[in-house]
Each structure stands twice: as structure tokens, then as C-alpha cells.
Structure 1
Amino acid sequence: MTTPLRLVFMGTPDFAVPSLAALIEAGHQLVCAYSQPPRPAGRGQQVQKSPVHRFAEEHGIPVRTPKSLRNAEAQAEFADLKADAAVVAAYGLILPQPILDAPRLGCVNVHGSLLPRWRGAAPIQRSILAGDAETGITIMQMDIGLDTGAMLSKEAVAITPATTATGLHDELAVLGARMIVPALEGLAAGTLTAMPQPEEGVTYAAKLTREDGRLDWTKPAAYVERQVRALTPWPGCWFDAANGERIKVLAAEPATGAGAPGTLLDDRLTVACADGAVRLTKVQRPGKAPVDGAAFLRGFALAVGQPVSSEAVAD
């Protein structure tokens, strides 16, 4: 590295921590970290600082947690940091134009997709859910649009039939950390030119809700299986059993078999879908420990040929 850059880091969840660590390790001057305000979390709903907030404090970096950056006071405080650049990774707040304009080199984003595919809030989960063959990291020069800025660098990783949201999240977090340091240095040295995003191939990764986790047996089995891999642990997948219990589905795999959508096909919790079948390999009843499908059925009044959920209607 030539001259250390004066940086502001803006991020909130675990995904952003490796990038912050990489910037510290590279010898850059982290003058401030911005993160979402502490919020209640966990079973006890204790107010907790974000992963980035905690990591920054552990490394002696001042932390700011504004609820918004739209007011003049917050924008003036940001400009007063006189940063060479701001690095943004899953921060969670909109950056208005005065924030984008304040650093000498602008604001650079570590985004978890191959832009322009999967702009928006949930690119990792949406890429698995859609059955994409690959995704990756794009280092992007931010503008006022939603992930529309010019690209500084891009690197792909494969999505396999075994890829889960948790595993892909961790892989992309590490990849982003590896990419951000050379991208910043190339930007500062003038050796890296930002390329506009293609106009074709734009998709949007809408924010996830709990309802996205509802399993619909009238979908193809391949989709239901991807849904479990994509949406575990958040928002989680589930179905409502005929007795009213909401059953969490923590793992599933493709299976052979056919029947009316939602029908139980065997004693291993294989369920018929619109096209094919899926075996629910780890499930959880309310207030109980997770168990495999066979163990679940031993303690649950459900016979082969019956619908597994209240929405399903067997022939």
C-alpha cells in the first residue's frame, strides 16, 4: 500500500465485519464507524449493539449510530470527518447526496451479488431461491439510486445444490473483505476505472418477510427445497399443521414420489409437491427441540396419505 487512506466505515451486521477487519489490517486510518442504533435482540430482548458497532469499539474506532442521515446536522458531522472515502457494507440507511459527495473519493459499497442482478435488500437469499448458478460480490461506486452505481470490481462464486444462505453469506463476506482493499487502492491511485452497470439483466431482491417462509406444496419440489436453503435461518420456513401448530422446517432434501400436493408419502416425512416431492429432514414443533422427520412423525398424529398442513387438501 502507498499512502493510508482516511476512511469512514458504514455497516451493521456480521456480513460487514470482515471488510472492516481487512481495512484495519491493511493499515488504513479508520476515523469513524457508522452503524444501526442498538436494538432489542435475542430471547431476552436485551438492547444490543450491532456486530460492526462492537467490533469497531474493540479496535478503538469511534462509533456513530444516527437514526437518519437526512438532516443537516448529521450531514455536517459526516463532512467534518474529511474522509478520503466511505466504505459501505450492509449498513441499512439510505445515503443522501450530501453524504455521497462528502468523501474525496466518494462512497464505495460491498454488495452481495453480481450487479445489476439482485439490487436491493436480500441478494443472497434471492439468488438461491431463484435457482441461480452463481452469485458474487460487486464493489460499486455508490450513487443516489438503489445499487445502481458504477462497478469497480466483480467476482463470482458458484451456487451448488448444497448451498445454504448461511454458507453463502459467510463465503461472500470473506470475498468482499478480500476485494475491498485492492479496489480502494486502485480507486485512490487512479488505476481502477468504474464501469457503468449494464442496462439489461436488472432484478430486485425485495426485503424478506416472515410470510416468504410459508411452504406452498403447490410449488415444484425443487423450489420448496431451495426455499428452505435460502430462507434458513431468516425468516425461516414453516407450515401450519392441521392441529394448528406452526411447524418450522430447518432442513429438507429432494425426494422421489408423487401425490396430491401436501400429502404425506412415507414415514420419513416426505411430502408431495406439484412436481416431485421433498423430504423434511429437520423440523421443530413449538417449544420442542429440532428432530428428524421420522422422529417427528412418531410423536405426531399424521398418517401416510393425509395432508401435512391445514392448507393442503389430499385427493
Structure 2
Amino acid sequence: MRIVFMGTPDFAVPCLKALKDSGHEIITVVTQPDRPKGRGHRLTPPPVKKAALEAGLRVWQPEKIKTPECVAELRQLSPDIIVVVAFGQLLSKEILEIPRYGCINVHASLLPKYRGAAPIHWAVINGESETGVTIMQMDVGLDTGDMILMGRVPVAPEDTTGTVHDKLAEMGAELLAKAINRIESGKAERVPQDNTSSSYAPLLTKEIEKIDWTRSSVEIFNLVRGLNPWPGAYTQLGDKILKIWGTQACTIDRIPGPIPEFSGHQPGEVLGIIPEVGFAVATGNGCLAVTDLQLQGNRRMKAADFVHGHNITKGVFLD
């Protein structure tokens, strides 16, 4: 089949490689324009562009894919199918109707759960015990199209959004290759989504990323791992932002030595230093041990090392 591939971040790269290896013809790779990145604000190509150029594929980087000029270009390419994997732009009805097999999307959730922009983050933040990938026939709605294939992966307590992301990226590539072959042979079954069971995974905001220490220990634990390795959960230590990258439950089996007493303390209060671990902070229903962090302007480090050179003693408040 003649395929137009639309994708941008690391998540889409395994899918692009799987299609390249499948023997189908990738006529164009559409990705977002290069963007300024890092302290120097240097223009940086998206991961999909790098992978496409390494594979010798044509790359197209329109600012807005829905313009009449872009629609005309897609019509001229005459693809059999358009594959979309975390592209970052919505497709118009005109575009959806161009390929004879339509457009399919590799979505990182068990649809209809977690439609939207950040499905992996929210699955971890909400403490889901499993998530997965759905190959979906696209329609004009937001992740509402018929499902073609689905795969599931467990989410362990030690998983972060980063580890789940990597598992789902590889699974998505495997499922995509199968789906393309089934579509070409006319054997792809399409199952409508149950809209009554849908949920939404919105974009992350600074308000969501800020730790509310009045929440339960489990909720904060899940927020921290759900925002690791990007964009990071944060709190305030004095006048500086303190990103929290890792936490542990304050339980005898997880922490060596005595557990700080948390009754009678206010949420956000540092309860004490835990040798070889970090420090304990009072939450809305107990305490949580901070194990990995990063102070504004500094590198990421173990909390056990951080406490030796910073004012993080008992009674200090994180806000």
C-alpha cells in the first residue's frame, strides 16, 4: 500500500520503522516543523523527522495540515491510507476522506478510556493497573472512531510514564503492522466504541503538575510517577521550585530504620530525614518519602544526597 505517515515524537518512531520494514511504500512522512529547544533555543528536528531522513524517506513539515494547499498536496500524493501516530495536529474531514482506506490512528490507551492528548500520563496518574494501545479508524471526532485492534500491558507500581511509554510504543508498532495487512486483505474488523464508557485525558498544565500535599499519599505517589520523566511534578521550597521525581510509601518494608511520626503535622511539612532514602513529608492521610528530586537550577539527584547540602530539615514546609 501507498502510505502517508503522520507523526512527531519518540512514540511514533517504532511505528514508522515497522512500516518501513513491512514492505509497504511510505510515500511521505508528515511531521511538525522544527522547534526551538533547550537553553540555547536551537531549532531541533522532531524524532520522526530524524528517523525518516535516516531511512531515506521524504519529509514534509507543514505548519498547519488543514490549509487548502496542504489538502491539495495530500490529494496529489494519492495515498491508499494515512497512518497517524501522535502527530500533534487534527485532521479535517476533507483529509480523512482522501485515502481509499481512510486514516487510522495508533492511540496509547484502551479506548474509549483516555481519549485526548495525554493518555499515558493520565493512566499512570490515576493508578490504572493496565493500559494499552488501540488501532482506530479515524473519524471527525476526538479519538471516537471504530476500533480495529487492541493490545494490553500491565502497569506495575514501579512504572512511570516513561517506562509505560516505551512498552506502548513497541506494542503500537506491532499492532500497526498487523492492522495494515488486515486492512489491505479486507479482513480488518471494526468495532464501534462505547461512548458511555469514555473518559478524557487532557493536556497537562502547571496547576495539574503542582503537588497538593493535602491529597492522599497514594494520589501524590501516582502523580509523581505519572509526570516522570516529563514534565515533572513540582512543589515549592522557599523561593525555588523543587521537582519531585521519585517517592516511596512510608512503610516498614520500604524504609530502613524508624518511620517519622506524622500525626499532628500539617500536609507539606518535612517530618524528618530518612538515612539512605531521603526525607519524609506529611500528606493528607499520612506521609510519603521523597527519594529523587531536582532543585531549580540544579541537576536531578538522590534526595539522600540532597539533604546533606540543603536546608531540608524537620519542620520545613513544602508548598
> What TM-score bracket applies, with the shorter chain setting the length?
over 0.9
Q: Which amino acid aligns with 2:6?
A: M
Q: Does 1:184 align with 2:180?
A: yes
Spell out, residue by residue over 1:115-136, the C-alpha distance to the aligned partner (whole angstroms, 9 max, x if none).
0000000000000111111110
| 1:290 equivalent in structure 2 | 300
Shift of 1:199: 2.2
Q: Does 1:194 align with 2:194?
A: no
| 2:117 equivalent in structure 1 | 121
Stretches of structure 2 lacking an aligned partner (at least 5 in a row): 252-260
**Separation of aligned partners in 1, 2:80 and 2:297:** 51
Q: Is the 8 A contact 1:209 1:235 kept in 2?
A: no
Q: Does 1:112 align with 2:122?
A: no
| 1:58 equivalent in structure 2 | 54
Q: TM-score, normalised by structure 1?
A: 0.93
For the residue of structure 2 that corresponds to 1:171, the secondary structure is helix
Spell out, residue by residue over 1:172-223, the C-alpha distance to the aligned partner (whole angstroms, 9 max, x if none).
0000000001111111211112110012221000001233221111000001
| 1:266 equivalent in structure 2 | 272
Q: Does 1:68 align with 2:80?
A: no
| 2:166 equivalent in structure 1 | 170
**Separation of aligned partners in 2, 1:168 and 1:154:** 16
| 2:79 equivalent in structure 1 | 83
Q: Which amino acid aligns with 2:317?
A: V
Q: Is the 8 A contact 1:210 1:236 kept in 2?
A: no
Spell out, residue by residue over 1:52-93, the C-alpha distance to the aligned partner (whole angstroms, 9 max, x if none).
111111112111111112221110100111111011000001
For the residue of structure 2 that corresponds to 1:215, the secondary structure is coil
Question: Which shifted more, 295-304 or 277-286?
Answer: 295-304
Instruction: Give 4+ residue runs of structure 1 displaced > 4 Å after superposition.
Output: none
For the residue of structure 1 that corresponds to 2:271, the secondary structure is coil
Q: Is the 8 A contact 2:160 2:229 kept in 1?
A: no
Match of 2:289 among 275, 279, 285: 279
Q: Percent identity?
A: 39
**Separation of aligned partners in 2, 1:48 and 1:289:** 22
Spell out, residue by residue over 1:139-170, the C-alpha distance to the aligned partner (whole angstroms, 9 max, x if none).
00000000000000111111111110100001
Q: Does 1:141 align with 2:137?
A: yes
Let me know the Cα RMSD of the aligned residues.
Answer: 1.3
Q: Is the 8 A contact 1:212 1:235 kept in 2?
A: no
Stretches of structure 1 lacking an aligned partner (at least 5 in a row): none
| 1:240 equivalent in structure 2 | 236
**Separation of aligned partners in 1, 2:312 and 2:143:** 47
**Separation of aligned partners in 1, 2:296 and 2:69:** 47
Q: Is the 8 A contact 1:225 1:253 kept in 2?
A: yes
**Separation of aligned partners in 2, 1:32 and 1:276:** 54
| 2:151 equivalent in structure 1 | 155
**Separation of aligned partners in 2, 1:80 and 1:153:** 30
Question: Structure 1's 289 and 99: CA in aligned 2 closer, same or farther, altered over 3 A?
Answer: same
**Separation of aligned partners in 1, 2:36 and 2:202:** 24
